[in-house]
Structure 1
Amino acid sequence: MLHFALWKRSTIWALVVIGLALAMPNLFYERVERHNDAVQAIELQGATPELVADRDAWPGWLPSGLVNLGLDLRGGAHLLAEVRVADVYADRMDALWPDVRDALRAVRDEVGPIRRADSPPAELHVNIGRPEGMAAAIAAVRQIARPTVTLTGVGSSDIEVRGAGDLLIVQLSEAEKEATDNRTIQQSLEIVRRRVDEVGTREPTIQRQGADRILIQVPGIGSAEELKALIGTTARLTFHPVVSRTDNPDEAPGAGNVLYPSLDDRGIYYVLERTPVVSGEELTDAQPGFDQNGLPSVTFRFNPAGARKFGRFTQENVGAPFAIVLDEEVISAPVIREPILGGSGQITGNFTVDDSTQLAILLRAGALPAELVFLEERTIGPELGADSIAAGKIACVVAFVAVLFFMVASYGLFGLFANIALIVNVAMIFGLLSLIGATLTLPGIAGIVLTIGMAVDANVLVFERIREELKSAKGPARAIELGYEKALSAILDANITTFITATILFTMGSGPVKGFAVTLGLGILTSVFTAIFVTRLMVVMWMERRRPRTITV
């Protein structure tokens, strides 16, 4: 037990040095943070003298990973949003109308002429000319139904079709509504995450809460209003045929049409076909740029399916206007001069550079499938975060000093060895947190404080066993060897059970609980390593150098 091969010694000290090196950037937090931000900005937009100066403030060959500070330490914005999942039903009905129309046209001889009627948002109503052909109409529309696979609705159809007089009614089935709700929440989570990531925010917390709510916490952002401006816009881009233009906001658009205001020309309204030719879901890229007049614009590109539909529409409607609609406002309504077959185009309007950049970010991230309604919002200032950090430092320092004093007072030189291992232990915790890019919160600091108190438990067990062996008149080397040997099982049992608890907390918990579990789990790993290997190696090296005949623990 007291013999360490050279390769073992080299491995232990190498791991300690790596841990200290990974933790070191956190001592120069602001400088390294500016370096990391500058490196990222240079990759995206090119070098400027200011960015180069920030990049060179920290040597590129040194580790530059940092422990990200959570919302309660750094300040930022907290939002709780409700997803209006029912809004998606209306879009599904609009998207279903062309298929229903084609299915009914296939049995025109039996159902007669058809016409879409006004209906509630979650339903599609179609008038048929021959009520006696309703059975044929229902059968034809049911042919376009698709199966829905959910835990509670295996084998169900995605739509329900029924008739009432000359009115054919189509709506989503309950199983499909459940699947749609879950899909909408997941899409909203992913799009919110992509929008936040686009602006380079560090370690946001974005997670589902309850059936239809999303919790969003973004450290480092200026205010809740700024965060709402980034993620609160649906950013649904669609391209519609123009039916007419009017200055009457109360004009009835007619069945199958919608009335949208113009974004640029206040007081002007456009009557558009409700079903879009192509939508923003088929965009593959959007970038800010400038038009031929040097004004800010946004260039976009469709995927192959969107490019085909857009090209076919523009080819068939040369000379006719079409509307570019963003969140139910007409950005522009240009006339198609020639077919647009390349699958790309440009959106112009009264944009500033910031507007075009923001719009490009939103379009790249994708449109939210449903509106977000913000139920709760908080802005946490950096001053509160600084107070939290100061309080956390005080807690850590008090715990640290108390443990150091207790170990030296109780175990003398061996306590000093344990204290050195404790310092290495805390540094390695920060090194591992930096390596995995973890976020440190106040509960995480509590986990570190708890780890400081627990870190010396293994050494206490070993030292007490050594004391007992010395009382039985064994020599120093044999007493130390037996002390480590007999204490090992107790050390492993205690730390494994605590590590299992930390794993359960991480798996079942969320937010602050996970932060506590991460620091506690990593602290257990580093504590066991430093107690079993680092402290023992220091004792062995001291024994080899001094060769004492007696020792006092």
Structure 2
Amino acid sequence: MLVIPRWKLWTILGICFFGMVFAMPNLLSPERLQTMPSWLKNTVNLGLELRGGSYLQLEVDLKEVAKEYLSNLLDETRLNLRKQQIGYTNLVVESKGTASPSLTFLLRNPDDAEQATKVLRAIDSGLTVSVENAKVTAILSEQMLEHRNRSIIEQSIEVVRRRVDESGTKEPIIQRQGADRIVVQLPGIEDPAEVKKLIGRTAKMTFRLVDSATPPVVGAPGSMPYKSAPLGTEYLEEVSHEGQVRYLAVKKQVMVSGESLIDAQATFSHTGQPAVSLKFNSVGARKFADMSAQNIKKQFAIVLDDKIISAPVFQDIIPDGNGQISGHFTVKEANELSLLLRAGALPAPLKVIEERTVGPSLGADSIHDGKIGTVVAFILVSIFMFLCYGTFGFFADIALIFNLILLFAGLSLLQATLTLPGIAGIALTIGMAVDANVLIYERIKEEIRAGIRPLAAVDAGYKRAVTTIIDSNLTTLIGAAVLFEFGTGPIRGFAVTLALGILISLFTALSLTRLIIVLWARRQKVLALPL
């Protein structure tokens, strides 16, 4: 019997009503949208090619991270080899060509090869050690390298996202591409120079002690001193705004890491100069307090990206662990530095390998062409359905209208980004939306030809066609899921639009058109179906 329970009736009508409500903000002007309640301000975001903006492709220098990791093992390796009385020379980290960085040294006595291998594996179990002609080579194992690289890429994406969000850029798209690349799309940003500057800086900050026994060396910017630093120290350039550059011998041991920072804000020092205030977590605060207590009247260096931005002297104990950097900043530089420190340090250097800008006029043309294509598709499909199925085709056209309304409501609620492939997905959805109605109507015709009464034929048509409809749409839904999982950028946008359109078309075909037919049949008391 063709009956729809009251709860199902109100559910269908409720979904259609709220679909219209949540789709409505897409028709409002930006000024009018600001006056709407916060829960009703969600609209479909326009992608880069529709809104215009900038596209950046970044390469993560994973090799540099591996090199730095092995470099941190040099002192420990040197110490343990001496403890075991293993003679060696030329302990260095090599990084040539495309090969993975390696820690190498030459054994004075080749018979110490096995013992040296044990020493290295005791230092780090993730090392793969090989010995050839008294030369010991240690590299990160493939499993460890893969795990670290994956973690570095994920961390880099998160840091880039925080930096872009902090800069005020709206609706950015940031995602991984390939093994070592990150794609950043910035809709609405036509000049990405400032954002690129923020993204590219590593912003790795450390607090280290200055070797007071080694006098500073005056040199030219960017040229390291010719003389070698004492064991356990390195020469780092001190940032200077007076044109004079000097290099301080800084101990390699990191006393406090920037990872302990929980907040950084631009402020002003007691002299009225722009500065950056720092706030550490409990662990960092304790380390900073201990560092200050043990080094009263001693100089320490605040190092950012291997450059000293300030080298003050501990005048007293800093018990709360909070500090302030006043390194001859401008207000803009203080704001940028505080933003970078709040967002966190990049685990690896980033290099821009591709950059392009899409003008808003191109996006406007794409939106116009997309609208025309969608409207033409809708009109042609509607005419086809009406000519083939008459009144029932008109019912399918009504469901098609709600299909588009619900699709935009869903995209708005998901805050999805609409791209050119997404528009293609909408056009495709229009054709697929009536596919289920065609299957149902053809099944109803078969039931009528078999001599079944009109209303019973409608009921049987829906019941017997539902399995075929679900199967055909499920296979397309699987394809959309695969595209979303393995695709990137616009491909994912197409997959989202297609999947959402499939689910909505199932609702409109199996529930909404059936409701319309039931209400029409009861009102007209039909004896024959206009099919």
TM-score (norm 1): 0.83
Note the alpha carbon deviations across 1:300-336, whole angstroms, 9 max, x for none: 2233443333333322222122221222322121121
CA positional deviation for 1:443: 0.6
**CA 1:455–1:97: 2 relative to 1, 3 Å:** same
State the AA in 1 paired with 2:186: V
Does structure 1 conserve the Cα–Cα contact (< 8 Å) formed by 2:276 and 2:334?
yes
> What per-residue deviation string (whole Å, max 9, x for no partner) do you get for residues 115-156 of structure 1?
99776465668999x9899779837843742333xxxxxxxx
Answer whether contact 1:138 1:163 (CA < 8 A) is retained. Answer: no
Q: Give the CA deviation at 1:82.
A: 1.7
CA distance in 2, matches of 1:518, 1:458: 20
Report 1:196-215 matches (<5 A): 196-215=164-183
1:404-423 alignment runs, 5 A limit: 404-423=382-401
Amino acid at match of 1:248: G
Instruction: Specify which of 213, 223, 248 is matched with residue 219 of structure 2.
Output: 248
Give the stretch that moved more between structures: 77-86 or 6-15.
77-86
Name the CA distance, whole Å, in 2 between partners of 1:489 and 1:139: 65
Is the Cα–Cα contact under 8 Å of residues 242 and 270 in structure 1 kept in the other structure?
Answer: no
1:450 to partner: Cα distance: 0.3
Task: Write the letter of the residue equivalent to 2:217.
Answer: T
**Contact 2:454–2:528 (CA<8 Å) still a contact in 1?**
yes
The within-5 A match list for 1:99-114 is: 99-100=76-77, 103=80, 110=85
CA distance in 1, matches of 2:282, 2:106: 35
Confirm or deny: 8 A CA contact 2:103 2:139 kept in the other structure: no
Task: For 1:284 and 1:95, locate their aligned partners in 2 and report how far apart those are by CA, in whole Å.
Answer: 25
TM-aligned CA deviation for residue 347 of structure 1: 1.5
Give 5+ residue unaligned stretches, structure 2: 96-100
Residue deviations 1:207-251 (CA, integer Å, cap 9, x gap): 333332222222232333233112111111122322333322344
**8 A contact 1:138–1:161 mirrored in 2:** no
User: Which residue identity does 2:229 align to in structure 1?
Assistant: G
Give the letter for the 1:450 counterpart.
L
Deviation at 1:353, TM superposition (A): 3.4
Q: In the TM superposition, what is the alpha-carbon distance from 1:351 to its structure 2 partner?
A: 2.9
- Partner SS, residue 247 of structure 1: strand
Corresponding residue for 1:23? 23
Q: Secondary structure at the match of 2:40?
A: coil
Q: Partner letter of residue 216 of structure 2?
A: R
C-alpha deviation, 1:283, in angstroms: 2.0
**1:63-462 to 2 correspondences below 5 Å:** 63-97=40-74, 99-100=76-77, 103=80, 110=85, 120=94, 122=101, 138=116, 141-142=119-120, 144-148=122-126, 158=127, 160=129, 171-175=138-142, 176-243=144-211, 244-249=215-220, 250-255=225-230, 256-273=233-250, 275=252, 276-462=254-440
- The answer to whether residue 507 in structure 2 is matched with residue 529 in structure 1 is yes
The aligned counterpart of 1:7 is 7
Q: Residue 541 of structure 1 aligns with which residue?
A: 519
Counterpart AA for 1:315: A
How many pairs align?
515
1:395 positional shift: 1.0
| Deviation string, structure 1 residues 384-433 (Cα, Å, up to 9, x no partner) | 22221111111111111112222223333222221111111111111111
Code of the aligned partner of 1:173: L
CA distance in 1 between counterparts of 2:382 and 2:271 reads 70
* Partner SS state of residue 147, structure 1: coil
Distance 2:109 2:472 in 1: 77
The question of whether the paired residues in 2 share the 8 Å contact of 1:300 and 1:346 is answered with: yes
Cα pair distance change 1:81/1:513, threshold 3 Å: same
> Retained in 2: the 8 A contact 1:311–1:343?
yes
Between the aligned partners of 1:163 and 1:476, the Cα distance in structure 2 is: 88
Q: Give the structure 2 partner of residue 516 of structure 1.
A: 494
Could you tell me how far 1:491 is from its partner in structure 2?
1.9
* TM superposition score normalised by structure 2: 0.87
Q: Give the CA deviation at 1:348.
A: 1.8
In the alignment, the residues of structure 2 paired with residue 101 and residue 301 of structure 1 have an alpha-carbon distance, to the nearest angstrom, of 36
What CA deviation, in whole Å up to 9, does each residue of 1:246-271 have, x standing for no partner?
32234424253123142434222122
Provide the rounded CA distance (Å) in 1 between the counterparts of 2:268 and 2:484.
Answer: 48
Instruction: Name the amino acid aligned to 1:252.
Output: K
Partner of 1:154: none
Q: Residue 459 of structure 1 contacts residue 531 of structure 1 at CA under 8 Å; is this kept in 2? A: yes
The aligned counterpart of 2:98 is: none
1:382 Cα deviation from its structure 2 partner: 2.0
CA distance in 2, matches of 1:210, 1:456: 38
Give the Å deviation of 1:452: 0.4
